[in-house]
Amino acid sequence: MKKFSIVIAGGGSTFTPGIVLMLLDNLDKFPIRQIKFYDNLAERQKHIADACEILLKERAPEIKFVATTDPETAFTDVDFVMAHIRVGLYAMREKDEKIPLKYGVIGQETCGPGGIAYGMRSIGGVLELVDYMEKYSPDAWMLNYSNPAAIVAEATRKLRPNSKIINICDMPVGIEERMARAIGLKSRKDMVVRYFGLNHFGWWTDIRDKEGNDLMPQIKEHVAKYGYSLPEEVEASQHTDASWMHTFAKAREVYEVDPSTLPNTYLKYYFYSQDEVAHANPNFTRANEVMAGREKHVFGECDRIAACGTAKDTTLEVDEHASYIVDLARAIAYNTHERMLLIVPNNGAIANFDETAMVEVPCIVGSNGPEPLTQGNIPRFQKGLMEQQVAVEKLVVEAWEEGSYQKLWQALTLSKIVPNARVAKQLLDDLIEANKEFWPELK
């Protein structure tokens, strides 16, 4: 059986150890001969790499391990690039979240002005990874979950049209796991779904079990009462960050706007922007919560492992839900024809929608990549929202490409989250100042 070589780009990510543990858990399904870490920040990556090296030596000594900041070393002789970079780190995420709040506008990692600012930083970083891959391992595939995935996907579609990159998101998978638990199924894999939308902007239209029985009524009954919260979680909430608990509960109100479908959680930012502003603490946003929580825990634990020289008693956890990344790699490697939600060029999958839009729909994945499944015509409500949002995403990519101030102002003005063109301009000027190091110069 062929053994694969992979590079994790963004080796210093808080998600890297969970993904390494997940890969180790799946070696019988997806054998690995080499894991490389690549990052452009040696000091940050070192904390994670030193610990993962110990962990790999203890649990799978046959796997060769390399951590590097040199693109040639990283991208030579690899079958898959698993990419999760964050250009600008949490320091810039914090600004994406806090600058809009000064204007009473929600600040969020991937939605509205924060997502637009992050997009302007990410495009160049992700294109650079694609170019390294094509230069050093032209047969490799990139599985990219660097955010903001919608904008990054549009940039790769437009600027690297022939590259073997697939953009993915774990939110639908996470929500489907909650749906499955809510109605007493063992796993989301017992469900077959129809879904359409843009990344962080979509709806389930049909959910069935393997026998074809309709599960929507039961799931809707749960969502109408609890959103995507699970009642047993209410007591166990100390194990789940408060902001995510709020998001899962808020899905109840998002669902009410169109009870014929089930919504992605991210729609709350568009439907109830002002509630989110009211609920936000402008001095302590999600970036602060993550730095004080996940980042502190992961880096602290990695440093502890390096200091004791063993990972035997580690508290690092397998990121089990990230096994969808293995499903995707396997689908390509073994032509499994797995059905998965991916972000792909529309090309008619949504019949009454821009064929050049990057949409999130179920696809059948095989050795030559994803084949989208037709979702037919979508209703006026979702179509209207998506047309506005896809135009925002396309304007951001055009602004990046052309260095256009005007187009980025238009993108912000068009965003449903921004109240008017004047606020859009003030926000833009603040964001330009904050992102000087990262954005192309705008004229």
Name the site residues for ligand G6P (rule: CB under 6 A). 109-110, 147, 169-171, 286, 290
Sequence-ordered alpha helix ranges (H) in 33-111: 42-59, 71-75, 89-102
**323 touches ligand NAD (CB under 6 A):** no
Reading the block at residue 434, the tokens are: 């904050």
CA atoms of 81 and 142, how far apart (whole Å): 5
Token pair 């170019």: residue: 131
CB of 233 to ligand G6P, least distance (A): 16
Applying CB under 6 A, does 9 fall inside the site for ligand NAD?
yes
Stretch that binds ligand NAD, among 41-49, 272-280, 326-334, 417-425 (CB under 6 A): 41-49
Residues binding Mn ion (CB under 5 A): 169, 171
Q: How many residues of this chain bind ligand NAD (CB under 6 A)?
A: 26
Q: How far is the CB of 91 from ligand NAD (least distance, A)?
A: 9
Window 150 to 179, contacts with ligand NAD (CB under 6 A): 169-171
- From the list 82-90, 332-340, 377-385, 422-430, the region that binds ligand NAD by CB under 6 A is 82-90
Count CA atoms within 13 Å of residue 232 on its CB side.
Answer: 5
The Cα 396–Cα 394 span in angstroms is 5
Contact between 359 and 350 (Cβ < 8 Å): yes
Q: What does the alpha-carbon distance between residue 131 and residue 199 come to, in Å, rounded to a whole number?
A: 24
Report the greatest alpha carbon distance in the chain.
60
Q: What is the 3-state secondary structure (H, E, C) of 361-384?
A: EEEEEECCEEEECCCECCCHHHHH
Catalytic, 214? Answer: no
| Residue 233 binds which entry of Mn ion, ligand NAD, ligand G6P, none, CB below 5-8 Å type-dependent | none
- The encoded tokens of residue 134 equal 């094509």
DSSP 3-state percent helix, strand, coil across the chain (nearest 5): 50, 15, 30
Amino acid at 231: P
Q: Which of residues 382-401 bind ligand NAD (CB under 6 A)?
A: none
**Measured from the CB of residue 144, what is the shortest distance to ligand NAD in angstroms?**
8
Residue 420 DSSP label: -
Query: Whole-angstrom Cα distance, residue 57 to residue 97?
Result: 39
292 touching ligand NAD, by CB under 6 A: no
Query: Residue 291: CB partners within 8 Å, gap ≥ 6?
Result: 90, 94
Instruction: Kindly tell me which of 41 and 421 has the beta carbon lying closer to ligand G6P.
Output: 41
CA-CA distance, 334 to 339, in Å (whole number)?
14
Nearer to ligand G6P, 170 or 402 (CB): 170
- Residue closer to ligand G6P (CB basis): 315 or 347: 315
Per CB under 6 A, 39 contacts ligand NAD: yes
CB-nearer residue toward ligand NAD: 147 or 265: 147
158 versus 294: smaller Cβ distance to ligand NAD: 294
201 lines the binding site for ligand NAD (CB under 6 A): no
Q: Tokens 């079990």: give the residue.
A: 209
Which position has the token pair 């009954």?
221
The answer for 88, left when phi > 0, alpha when psi is -120 to 50, beta otherwise, is: left
Q: Which listed residue (266, 269, 270, 324) is catalytic? A: 266
The two tokens of residue 266 are 């991210």
Residue among 141 and 145 whose Cβ is closer to ligand NAD: 145
Quick one: what does residue 40 bind among Mn ion, ligand NAD, ligand G6P, none, with the CB cut-off 5 to 8 Å set by partner type?
ligand NAD
Please answer whether residues 343 and 167 qualify as being in contact, where contact means their C-beta atoms are separated by less than 8 angstroms: yes
286 binds, among ligand NAD, Mn ion, ligand G6P, none (CB under 5 to 8 A by kind): ligand G6P
**Between residue 115 and residue 154, which ones bind ligand NAD under the rule CB under 6 A?**
125, 128, 145-147, 149
Annotated active-site residue 266? The verdict is yes
Q: Which entry of 25, 50, 131, 170 is annotated as an active-site residue?
A: 170
* Rounded least distance, CB 196 to ligand G6P, Å: 17
In the list 4, 5, 15, 106, the residue contacting ligand NAD (rule: CB under 6 A) is 15
Strand 32-38 and strand 4-9: the pairing is parallel
Residue closer to ligand NAD by CB (options 41, 351) is 41
List active site positions. 170, 266
For ligand NAD, the binding residues (CB under 6 A) are 9-10, 12-15, 39-41, 44-45, 84-87, 89-90, 125, 128, 145-147, 149, 169-171
